Amino acid sequence: MNIWFANENESNFELPFNFNTQSGSVLRGSDIDSNELPDVFTKVAPGAYPCIIAYAVVFLVAAVGNMIEFLSVWRRLRKRSTAMNRLLLHLCIADIMVVFMVAAVEIFWRISIGWYAGDFMCKLVQYFRAFGLYLSSLMLICLSLDRFYAVCFPLRAVDASRRVKIMLIIAWTAAALCAAPQCIVFRVQSHPDFPAFRQCNSILSGVAAEAINTAISMSFMYFLPILVIIFSYGNIIIRLARESDGALDADNNDRFLRRSGASVMDRAKIKTLKLSFVIVMVFIFCWTPYVVISIW
């Protein structure tokens, strides 16, 4: 099973995104005569509506929530341009992209089971679906590393702006490169028994190809972020534990903070640390079940 949830339907024709042919079609091209296709390709089955409604609810909640968060972060960023706010803004952009390119497209595609937008749009949509997912995961890596540097190397705070710019450039570039293969592996295909029915489908076939695809996708979307998160927050916890016990070496770079009676982090840093930790935990909670099912 790959990240596009390609499953085999009743007509033995693979459709992406966990479609089954009971979804029906409401978007028909001028060259398609619905009378030539079985009802399974042209009518929305009653069983498809609960799933469509569920996706619609998820889309509305996620779209409204992310837009509100985007505007909130944007206002904070205009008042105070911090590394954390810049990273959160880019995370919001990535999540909004996921909402509209994954959830919204999923709704329309479950209603119009066929693909009627042509080969170029097939590749473009698949590219941005993967791009948003990769970018969202990479933004979490940037957040974790930013908190790691802020807590464990506080004297390097003066370099935070430059560091964040570099991380953002790397994240956007890496997401673009990781998503590029979608333009190759996806194309419009016709049903072997019903040529009038077309689908934007992956050309990958076979267990080995799917296993390799799943391994590569999960490595960048889940396992790499998890490893960075464990490293970053593990070191943060160790650092805070040492500070609370007064066990830092006298030669440590931030010794002056303790001499002045201040803690390693002020309240603002503690607040941003908690926020980033919550974001990371939500990522783990939402992604882990899917990863387990995919590997299983």
Confidence grade of residue 36 (pLDDT, cut at 50, 70, 90) = low
Q: Kindly report the pTM of this predicted structure.
A: 0.75
Res. 28: pLDDT tops 60: no
Burial (CB count <10 Å: 0-12, 13-18, 19+), residue 64? exposed
pLDDT of the residue at 280: 80
Average of per-residue pLDDT across 270-287:
77
Instruction: Tell me the pLDDT tens digit for each residue of 133-184.
Output: 999 999 999 998 998 888 888 776 667 788 899 999 999 999 999 999 999 9
| Token pair of 32 as six digits | 């398609």
Res. 188: pLDDT tops 80: yes
Q: Could you tell me the sign of the dihedral formed by the alpha carbons of 113, 118, 122, 125, in that order? A: negative
Fold observed for domain 7-295: Rhopdopsin 7-helix transmembrane proteins (1.20.1070)
d(CA 89, CA 79) in angstroms, rounded, equals: 14
pLDDT of the residue at 279: 79
* Domain parsing of the chain, residue ranges: 7-295
pLDDT greater at residue 240 or residue 222: 222
